Amino acid sequence: MTLNAILVEDEANSREILSNYINKYCPDVNVVGMAASIKEGLELIENNDLDLVFLGC
Cα(1)–Cα(28) distance, integer angstroms: 7
**Residues 36-54: pLDDT tens digits?**
999 999 999 999 999 999 9
Q: Provide the pLDDT for residue 29.
A: 98
Cα(29)–Cα(25) distance, integer angstroms: 9
Q: Provide the pLDDT for residue 11.
A: 97
Question: Could you tell me the pLDDT band of residue 57, with boundaries at 50, 70 and 90?
Answer: confident
Q: Under a CB-based contact definition with an 8 Å cutoff, are residues 33 and 42 in contact?
A: no
